[in-house]
Chain A
Amino acid sequence: MNNYKESKIYTVSKLNKYIKKLFENDFNLQDVWILGEISNFNLHSSGHMYFVLKDKESQIKCVMFRGNNYTLRFMPGDGMKVKVRGDVSVYEKRGEYQLYAKEIIEAGKGELYLAFERLKEKLKDEGLFSEEIKKKLPLIPHHIAVITSPTGAAIRDVITISLRRFPNLSILVVPSLVQGTFAAKELAKKIDFLNKYFKDLDFIIIGRGGGSIEELWAFNEEILARSIYNSKIPIVSAVGHETDFTISDFVADLRCPTPSAAAEMTIPDKNNLINNLSLLNSKMNRAVKRNLELKTENINSASRSLKYQGPENKINQYYQYIDEFSIRLNSRIRHRIELYEERIKKDSQRLGSLSPWAIIARGYSICRKIPGKEIIKRLEQIDLGAKIEVIISDGKILSKVEKKEVVPS
C-alpha cells in the first residue's frame, strides 16, 4: 500500500473547489455550445430554470439563472431539442458538475416528439384511433382488470376509489413494468394474456401515474398500441397527469387523464344507482295507487249513474212527470177560465156604456114616428102636424110637429 503519511489529505470542500478550478481553467468547457433535448424542465418560483439536457445515451444537469433566462424568446419545455451555450462547472455543495446556461436556441423539435408524431400519424391513417371501433363500457362492471405497477400510488388509488363507488367489485391486479425498455412489450403481453384467459372481464384499465416523457414512453410504443387495438376486451387508458397524451390514449376505447380519474369515470356510484332505482320504484307505487283510486272512483260513479237509469227510477220519473203535467194543465185551464171571465166582465161593461139607454140618461133623446115607431133622423121623414113620440130617460113625451127648420151644421 501507499505511504499514508506522504499522501495529501483533502477535505471534501477543498476537493470540490479544486475540481471546480480544473473545470474553469479548461477552455474546452467554457463558453461552449451543447446540443441536446430538454427534459425535466422546471421553472422555479425564484425565476431560475432547472432542466436536464440529454441525448440517447447521456444527460447533464443544467441551470439557467434568471439574469440570463429573461432574454429567452421562447419558453423551454420537455422534449425540445435545443442548442445551449454556457460554462460547464461544478456545484460544490453537491459535488455535481452542471451546465450553466447563458443562451438557448431551439434546434428543431426533439426526436422523441417527432417519433411520437410519426407513429401517431401512421396509426391514425391505419384507423386505429377511429371512433367507430371504440367499444362501449358496460354501466355496471362486475369484473375488471388493472394492468399497472403493483406498488405505485396508481393501483392504490384505483382500488380505493373503485371500492368506494362500488363496494362489491371484483378487481384483478395484473402487475407490470410501466417504464423502461421492456415495459411496452410487457404491457402488450399482459393485454394479450387477459384476452386469452379472462374473456369475461368487463374492461381493462391500463396505466400509470404521471412522469417525464421518457417515463411515459412505453405508452407511446407501437407494440402496445397494436395490443390495445386488437383487444376484444375494452381498454381504458389512464396514463400520467392530465396534460400528457400518449398513443395508448388515442387507441384505447376510453381515455382518462389519470388512473384515479379512470376509476371515477368507469366505476358507477352504487349508492346513486340504488337511489335512482328506489326513486323510480316509489314513483311507480304512487302512480299505481293513484290509478287504483281513480278506477275505484270510476266504479262508484258508474254504479251511481246506473241507479239513476234503472226502470224504477224511470217509472218514478214518469209519475212525477204526469203529476207535474196535470198540475200544469190545471193551472193552465184555470188561468184560461179566469182570462175569459175577465174578458166577459170587460165586454159587458163596454156593452153597457154603448146601450142607447145610457146615452139617453146623459140627456139625449130619441124621436119616433107615430105610428110606425120609425126613428126620425132627418127632417124629410116627417110632415108638419104629424105626431111623434120623444123618448127620454124615464118615459116618453107625445108631441106634434109645428115647425121644421134646417140648422146649418
Chain B
Amino acid sequence: MKNKKKIVDIPFEEYLKKLEKIVQQLEEGELTLDESVKTYEEGMNITKLCLEKLNKTKKKIEQLVIKSEENYSIKPFSEKEGEDTINEY
C-alpha cells in the first residue's frame, strides 16, 4: 500500500515547476482561449494541491520508547523524562 502511495505522490518541487511553466505559458499569451482556460484551471488545481501538501501534516512532537526488538510505544516528547528512557532499550 505504501508503494502505491509513493507513486501517486508527486514531489512538491515538481508541482512548483509545473506552476512556473503554466505562468510562463499564460504570460506568453499565445494560447487559445480554451487552452488558457484549461491551463488556468490546472494552475489553480496545482496551487490547491500545494497548499494541501503544506498543510496536511499535524504538528506532533513525540518520543519513541523502544521496549524490545519488536515492541515499542510512542509518547509525547518531554525533555525531562528523556534521560530515563535512554536505557530502556
Contact = CB atoms under 8 A, between A and B. Distances in A.
Contact of B58 (A170, A175, A292): A170
A167 B79 contact: no
A353 B23 CA distance: 92
B12 A139 contact: yes
Q: What is the interface residue range for chain B against chain A?
A: 35 or more
Contacts of A199: 2
A163 B85 CA distance: 24
Contact of B19 (A172, A197, A277): A277
Contacts of A172: 62-64, 74
A145 B19 CA distance: 31
Contact of A140 (B2, B54, B72, B79): B54
B36 A288 contact: yes
A138 B14 CA distance: 11
B79 A151 contact: yes
B85 A171 contact: no
A190 B31 CA distance: 54
Given A139-B12, A280-B19, A291-B36, A168 B79 contact: no
A274 interface: yes
Nearest to A177: B86
Contacts of A186: 89
Interface in A272-300: 273-274, 276-277, 280-281, 283-284, 287-288, 290-292, 294-295
A368 interface: no
A176 interface: yes
A168 B59 CA distance: 4
Interface of A: 138-140, 142-143, 145, 149-151, 155-156, 159, 163, 167-177, 186, 189-190, 193-194, 197, 199-200, 270, 273-274, 276-277, 280-281, 283-284, 287-288, 290-292, 294-295
25 contacts: A138-B12, A139-B12, A150-B81, A150-B82, A167-B59, A168-B57, A170-B59, A171-B61, A173-B61, A175-B64, A177-B86, A189-B89, A190-B89, A194-B64, A197-B72, A273-B54, A277-B16, A277-B19, A277-B47, A283-B23, A284-B19, A284-B40, A291-B26, A291-B33, A291-B36
